[in-house]
Amino acid sequence: MRNTPTILHLDMDAFFASAEQASKPSLRGKAVIVGGLGPRGVVATASYEARVFGVHSAMPMAQARRLAPNAAYLVPRFAFYRSISEQVMALLRALSPLVEPLSLDEAFVDLEAGGAAWDEASARLAGGKLRADIRAVTGLTGSVGLAACKMLAKIASEQAKPDGLVVIEPGTERAMLGPMSVRTLPGVGPATGDHLRRAGIHTVEELAEAGEDELVRLLGKAHGHALYAMALARDERPVVAERETKSVSVEDTYDVDIHDRVRVGLEVQRLADRCVRRLREAGLSGRTIVLKVRRYDFSTLTRSETLRGPTDDRAVVREAAGRLLESVDTTGGVRLLGVGVSGLADYTQEDLFAQAAGERGRSAEDPGEDGAVEAAAAGVVTAEAGAPVVRRWAAGHDVRHAEFGHGWVQGSGVGRVTVRFETPESGPGRVRTFRVDDPQLSPAEPLPLVPRAPGVAAAGEVRA
């Protein structure tokens, strides 16, 4: 472990909710909760104003509504969050070649490897500049932790929240960690925490005092050794620039169990299309197709099929997922479906026979992958041939009206959709209600949170 605090951990503050507040002036300073809005939905992110009421991520949405009934509840806009994340990651990679993303809003950076810092003073300067750059480029805030190892840097960033910077100076680690709960350490979840509590171990200091042998006896060899090292503030893990993707998958949980076998099959095809699109966006292909089914009684089944070579062909993945579905009994109802691809590669070797069969099975009305995905993103569902198109407007998503301009969906139901017309640069906007099929209302792309000056490239963008 190094003797300078040159490992940086960045964690964006309430990322999804903060992005929504920055995008929607009427929500700034108010409780905002982002997640699945159905009865089985969970909270993805809650703004700090919502956390005052006890709402937190991974909480069932029904419980969040009881705790904060007057909060704004929004459907996630993952493409929007991903675009902001790319700007942030570009700023991190400007600091060092060793950047280890953990999620869209979190990453480790080895400042020493990029020459951005070599001692405490230079690390503080680099961390402060990064926070300022993030605010200037995205309009959002992030918390920064600096320490001599990854574990301590992450703990420091948690202490820095929201919108702060904390440096753990080498030599002070043990004193700082000692009084903290054992749950502070990575790998100590509820089950391990309860096990340690029953053994009379509550703090990190008590964990260190218990000794390595006792921890191995309580938790097993691997976990016991690792926790003892962390209790002594030892963490030799390096910042790893590239983390190999092992699989690509998508899944949906349904508000009401699906009993119709035909509907289940259509949902599996739709998930296969989304999975293939993610594969192609990542420049990957895969040879093992995986189907996940969670039934009405919460039992979860997985089925897989390995192809003769890696593929990113929509028809091939669709057909394989359909074959896997045939082996699953769904008569009691299905609450969750997922399709994934593993055994990834960066090239394709198509199964021509399966591909041909898939092409023959494609109907003339099938819009293809791009059409299906765009329709889903827009909240537009096409019914049977000859039936009218039904529009569904997701709360929080962007729209444009021919007369009133850009806005976002506050809510919809009983044939009406309510829209607030405002932009990141405007003040709180006016609210109007329309029919869901109003021809002047259409889905729109999110507006940038920080307007870009003419001729200025975005972070990470290279101009010819």
Peptide bond into 186 cis (omega under 30): no
The Cα–Cα gap between 120 and 275 comes to 45
The DSSP code for 453 is P
384 given a catalytic annotation: no
- Alpha-carbon span 18 to 139, nearest angstrom: 9
- In the sheet that 142-147 helps form, which strands lie side by side, from edge to edge? 99-103, 106-110, 7-12, 142-147, 165-167
Question: Rounded to an integer, what distance in angstroms lies between the CA atom of residue 123 and that of residue 1?
Answer: 16
- Catalytic: which of 20, 100, 106, 369? 106
Other Cβ atoms less than 10 A from the Cβ of 331: the count is 9
Q: Which residue's structure tokens are 């963008």?
A: 461
Crossing angle of the two packed helices 261-281 and 314-326, in degrees rounded to 10: 140
**DSSP letters along 308-355, please?**
EEEE--HHHHHHHHHHHHHTS--TT-EEEEEEEEEEEESS----HHHH
Return the closest-CA partner of residue 186 out of 234, 220, 143, 147: 234
Rounded to whole angstroms, the Cα distance separating 417 from 296 reads: 32
Single-letter code of the amino acid located at 109: V
Non-local CB neighbours of 367 within 8 Å, separated by 6+ positions:
375, 382
Residues with active-site annotation: 106
